[in-house]
Amino acid sequence: MNVKLVMSILGKVSLAFGICLMIPFLAAFYFNEKQTVEFLLPITISLLLGIFMSRMKAEYKGHLSLREGLALVGFSWLLVCLLGALPYLFFGFDLISSLFESISGFTTTGATSINNLDAIPSSLILWRSLTQWFGGLGIILIFITLVPQVGSSGERLFTAELHGESTERIMPRIKTTVYAISIAYMAATFLLMGILYTLNVTLFEAVNYAMTTVSTGGFCMQKEGLAHFNSTAVEVVILLFMLFSGGNYVLYYKTYKEGFKDLWQDTELMAYLSVILFFTFAMAINLFYSSYYGLSQSLYYSFFQSVSTITTTGYYLQNYNEWPEFSRFCILLMMFVGGCAGSTAGGIKVARFLILFKLSWAELKRTLHPRMVIDIKLSGNHITPNMIIGISRFFFFYIAIFVFATLFLSLTDRLGMLDSIGIAAACLANIGPAFDMVAPLSTYADVSGAAKLISCVLMLLGRLEIFSLLIFLNPEFWHGSKKW
Amino acid sequence: MNYRLLYFFLGKLCYTCAASFCLPLLLGIFLSEDSVYAFLQAIVTSMCLGFVFSRFGNTEDAGITYREGVAIAGFGWFVITFLGSLPYVFAGILDPVSAFFESVSGFTTTGATAIAQIEVLPRSLLLWRSLTHWIGGIGIIVVFIAILPQVASGSVHMFNAEVTGPSSERVLPRIKTTAIALCKVYLFFTLVEMVMLYFAGMNLFDAVNHSFSTIATGGFSTYDTSVTHFESPVIEGIIAFFMIIAGGNFALYYLVGEKGPQVLWQDTEFKVYIAIIFIVTAAISLNLYVDGYFNWVDSFRYSVFQVTSIISTTGFVSNDFDVWPPFSKFCLVLLMFIGGCAGSTAGAIKVSRIVILTKMAFAHIKRTMHPSMVVDISISGKTVPNTVIAGIVRFFFLYVILFALLAFLMAMTGLSVIDSIGIIAATISSVGPALGVAGATCTYAEINSFGKFVISIAMLLGRLELFTLLVLFRPEFWRSTRNW
């Protein structure tokens, strides 16, 4: 493995990071806050680290090998999360909580360990929301562009597949896609900012909430969450943008180029919407018949919560922890489903479920015709056996990790059965709030340090779709072999 | 579809059921119980039904394929569970839905009881209850070891005792010899346990019932408090020992008889099964001891009993595990999913599948580094073909999905999230006692009829290993094709 190359790229990441930290630094000046040193130190550290690592003379062969690509993805995430914890650390939070908040930001989870949000200076709040926005952008860039090129898990779930092209012609295509998608992401953010501002939300709040919504992150500036605005218009706008961000950005790009018919033909998008509608009605009926709310409110609140949970954002309008058991169970189920492949959402992803269902149905047929060849298509695209294997393994790993995480969490203090299940599911899917101890209106502040650490690992595993991190477990990765 | 063959077997099944009613009938006569009339009515009904089936069935065409095997297994279960519920109904003990539940619970060797007060029941009915377990256990063994592997290579995997069937004429006699051999092993263990329990202090009636229940890995007891009633470490030890045996591969035991005990140590699945028992027992014992529940002797005693009870999916209870710490309860729930060895009377996913899934998942981690590498998964020294692996992966996915769906339906009855999850986990795996409302010291009597029906479906699905029932949904199953 070309260690020097990886280090030098990581150095550039560190430099870029230092520059990003300037934003809250400048904001601190603008808001006349005295906490400038707390940002200055992290900036200095990042820049120094970046300069030191970029100095490595590395030969660049023109392309990244598989190992280098994987190392890059894994390490840059770890680096960014570590550096991102520095501002919190210098502001006085303990090490684990700082790490937790930083990881929760970059993985767009939105679980917060800060109990008293009003006592936090605005510049830090801005940094918090920024981490989510960058996290979302990073996900889109890495998983749509870099991973197919490097081919780490062999999965390509996106309908706008660049297939049948030779390697030279893929690169420019990827570049255009990268630009287009980044622009879409940024445009959505600015659009939401603008709309919120016209709805009488202060500029600062509009900026923060736009960033945490489009990234499907879910950090709130107030403990009462979106109820703070007391405005159905604001809630609906945010709902729409959550819905948008939970969809496939590559599909949006394809629609932009080739027309709207692509949207209706996309099986995953239709399934995504159907799942949301199904759970909306299921919970609404439950809420209405249990006399929690009137009919329209039942529908509205369950719709919002369904969208929020499926897109793994984690916003809430009501404390769903007090809803009847059946609705709580629906929410737990939705935590596993997740959004569309190619979005900023987490979870197992709708596309994977679709493929696995089609496969199981076909497999039942195969028990009758043992020599039958199975051919699965999604939105007209052929799914290769390698992809199927990758998806099956992912499902198994996801469930296995969830199970073991729940086990370990239950060993820590103060966590009962539902607490553990909720935290494990919500962190792995990058949602944020869950049940009981970490219900809406509550935070992760009182969760023990050990549990916070486990949650950090879960958030990273979920965000990086497991394999990119698990590869570090393979000793071969470190020792290498000459066949490379 | 060879309907005549199907009817022939169903007819035989009815007559067998009628014959098996005779045993409790005799006991009832001997003890002068009123339930005698219930059994007489049940016998008459079974004979009539059997007569009807026999009119239409014959074995002129002995061609038996997967389809017939599945149909016999699927419909046979419905017929026998229906007939088996008659004594409860005719004796006025249970309403039809609960009677069906009890009968299904009996034959699927689950052991979840809908009877609120067991000890006041007439002894003949109690005997019938345990007998349904014992018969169900034999049925499992015969269908899944003797019949299905002969007619469907690849759908059921017996890695050590696989006797691959050549042409169809010689299949039926092969099935017969295998079935008889297995029944001998089964009977042997039952008798030995009966004797040992009797000498350990149980009265004859209890010894008979509990050994029927143990070897079938059922879990019905003649006492409301299950094995807690005896308060005897010796009895617990004997039962635990036989539960471990009953959770192992019966075909393997038959081989032990022919080739000696080294067969056991060569079997990967058996080794993993024992290892899991050791590890989880240690974990739970530690948890119980450290959290101050019991002294270390009792921690070990209760832990080893409950672990063997749950992993073999028997479901006997020697201590109220519902009050154990969350970690221990999670361990038990995890065991509910793992289950026993393939080729045993245990339910759930089965150790061999878990082993293969784990190996496959870790092979992939290796493969991310070397995408073109070919990885061989082997178990007990033999390579597992890819089609089998694919089938197992599909099975795991369906198991999780069906579990989620059934738990969703359970939650509709208003039960809490944890209770719904626990009940379905415990019944789809044919364990029996769950958590909370249906916990270790409770019964399923209080669950509403819809819930009981959902659970009955769960028990049948789990027992028939999903595919066997689900394949009945495929239209191809019913269409007769000439190219078979």
Q: A149 pLDDT exceeds 50?
A: no
The nearest alpha carbon in chain A to B322 belongs to: A417
**H or E, element range at A381:** strand A381-382
| Test the B interface: residue of A396, A401, A435, A477 with most B CBs within 10 Å | A396
pLDDT in tens, chain B (484 residues): 778 888 888 888 899 899 999 999 999 999 988 889 999 999 999 999 999 988 887 776 666 677 777 777 778 888 999 999 999 999 998 999 999 999 999 999 999 999 988 999 999 999 999 999 999 998 877 776 666 665 554 444 443 333 333 333 445 566 777 788 888 889 999 999 999 999 999 999 999 999 999 999 999 999 988 899 999 999 999 999 999 999 998 888 888 877 888 888 888 899 999 999 999 999 999 999 999 899 999 999 999 999 999 999 999 999 999 999 999 999 999 999 999 998 888 889 999 999 999 988 887 777 666 666 666 777 777 788 877 788 888 889 999 999 999 999 999 998 999 999 999 999 999 999 999 888 888 889 888 999 999 999 999 998 888 877 777 777 777 765 544 4
> Distance between CA atoms of A19 and A134, rounded to whole angstroms?
13
Residue A187 near chain B (CB below 8 Å): no
The nearest alpha carbon in chain B to A392 belongs to: B393
Residue A450 near chain B (CB below 8 Å): no
Give A417's contacts in chain B (Cβ within 8 Å): 326, 329-330, 418, 435
Residue A351 DSSP symbol: H
Per the CB < 8 A criterion, the answer to whether A11 and A80 are in contact is no
Point out the residue among B287, B330, B474 whose CB comes nearest to the CB of A368: B474
Give A395's contacts in chain B (Cβ within 8 Å): 396-397, 400
Point out the residue among A154, A410, A471 whose CB comes nearest to the CB of B365: A471
Among candidates A119, A21, A22, which has minimal Cα distance to A445?
A: A119
| Test the A interface: residue of B394, B415, B465 with most A CBs within 10 Å | B394
Among candidates A316, A312, A323, A334, which has minimal Cα distance to A235?
A: A316
Point out the residue among B396, B411, B467 whose CB comes nearest to the CB of A364: B467
Q: A475 pLDDT exceeds 70?
A: no
Put simply, the chain B residues between 297 and 336 with a CB less than 8 A from any chain A CB are 325-327, 329-331, 334
* Residue-wise burial string across B448-461, b where 16 or more C-beta atoms lie within 10 A, e elsewhere: eeebbbbbbbbbbb
Using one digit for the tens of pLDDT, what is the confidence trace for B67-107? Answer: 777 777 778 888 999 999 999 999 998 999 999 999 999 99
Give B334's contacts in chain A (Cβ within 8 Å): 403, 407
Among candidates A26, A116, A9, which has minimal Cα distance to A70?
A: A9
Task: Return the C-alpha torsion angle A49, A54, A57, A59, nearest 10.
Answer: 130
Point out the residue among B325, B391, B416 whose CB comes nearest to the CB of A325: B416
CA dihedral over A210, A213, A218, A220, signed as positive or negative? positive
pLDDT of B150: 56
The Cα of B360 is separated from the nearest Cα of chain A by a number of Å equal to 8
Per the CB < 8 A criterion, the answer to whether B11 and B53 are in contact is yes
Give B361's contacts in chain A (Cβ within 8 Å): 393, 396-397, 400
Using one digit for the tens of pLDDT, what is the confidence trace for B276-318? Answer: 999 999 999 999 999 989 999 999 999 999 999 999 999 999 9
Chains A & B: contacts with CB separation below 8 Å = 129
Select the more confidently predicted residue: B71 or A306. Answer: A306
Mean pLDDT score, A289-299: 91
| Test the A interface: residue of B66, B280, B330 with most A CBs within 10 Å | B330
Q: What percent of chain A has pLDDT over 90?
A: 42
Select the more confidently predicted residue: A229 or B468. Answer: A229
Give A421's contacts in chain B (Cβ within 8 Å): 417-418, 421
Mean pLDDT score, A258-287: 90
pTM over 0.80: yes
Point out the residue among B155, B396, B416 whose CB comes nearest to the CB of A396: B396
> Distance between CA atoms of B88 and A318, rounded to whole angstroms?
48
The Cα of A9 is separated from the nearest Cα of chain B by a number of Å equal to 21
The Cα of A440 is separated from the nearest Cα of chain B by a number of Å equal to 17
* Residue-wise burial string across B46-67, b where 16 or more C-beta atoms lie within 10 A, e elsewhere: bbebbeebbeebeeeeeebbbb
The Cα of B202 is separated from the nearest Cα of chain A by a number of Å equal to 37
Per the CB < 8 A criterion, the answer to whether A418 and A409 are in contact is no
B369 to A407: CB separation less than 8 angstroms, yes or no: no
A410 to B473: CB separation less than 8 angstroms, yes or no: no
B417 to A153: CB separation less than 8 angstroms, yes or no: no
B471 to A367: CB separation less than 8 angstroms, yes or no: yes
The Cα of B104 is separated from the nearest Cα of chain A by a number of Å equal to 25
A364 to B366: CB separation less than 8 angstroms, yes or no: no
Q: What is the DSSP string of A258-301?
A: H-THHHHH-HHHHHHHHHHHHHHHHHHHHHHHTTSS-HHHHHHH
> Distance between CA atoms of A296 and A303, rounded to whole angstroms?
10
pLDDT of A153: 35
ipTM of this complex prediction, to 2 decimal places = 0.88
Residue A35 DSSP symbol: T
Residue B404 near chain A (CB below 8 Å): yes
Residue B398 near chain A (CB below 8 Å): yes
Residue A285 near chain B (CB below 8 Å): no
Give A403's contacts in chain B (Cβ within 8 Å): 334
| Test the A interface: residue of B365, B398, B401, B421 with most A CBs within 10 Å | B365
Which bin fits A349, alpha (ψ -120 to 50), beta or left (φ > 0)? left
Give A332's contacts in chain B (Cβ within 8 Å): 417
Put simply, the chain B residues between 426 and 465 with a CB less than 8 A from any chain A CB are 435
The Cα of A321 is separated from the nearest Cα of chain B by a number of Å equal to 11
pLDDT of A156: 38
A473 burial (CB, 10 Å; 0-12 / 13-18 / 19+) is: exposed
The nearest alpha carbon in chain B to A417 belongs to: B326
A399 to B400: CB separation less than 8 angstroms, yes or no: yes
Residue B205 near chain A (CB below 8 Å): no
Residue B37 near chain A (CB below 8 Å): no
Residue A291 near chain B (CB below 8 Å): no
Max alpha carbon distance in chain A (Å)? 74
Residue A395 near chain B (CB below 8 Å): yes
The Cα of B88 is separated from the nearest Cα of chain A by a number of Å equal to 32
Which bin fits A216, alpha (ψ -120 to 50), beta or left (φ > 0)? left
Residue B257 near chain A (CB below 8 Å): no
Residue A449 near chain B (CB below 8 Å): no
Which residues have C-beta within 8 Å of that of residue A182, sequence separation ≥ 6? A137, A140, A141
Which residues have C-beta within 8 Å of that of residue A4, sequence separation ≥ 6? A56, A57, A58
| Test the B interface: residue of A330, A367, A461 with most B CBs within 10 Å | A367
| Test the A interface: residue of B327, B333, B474 with most A CBs within 10 Å | B327
Which residues have C-beta within 8 Å of that of residue B336, sequence separation ≥ 6? B310, B313, B348, B425, B426, B429, B431
The Cα of A207 is separated from the nearest Cα of chain B by a number of Å equal to 38
The nearest alpha carbon in chain B to A420 belongs to: B326
B420 to A329: CB separation less than 8 angstroms, yes or no: yes
A417 to B418: CB separation less than 8 angstroms, yes or no: yes
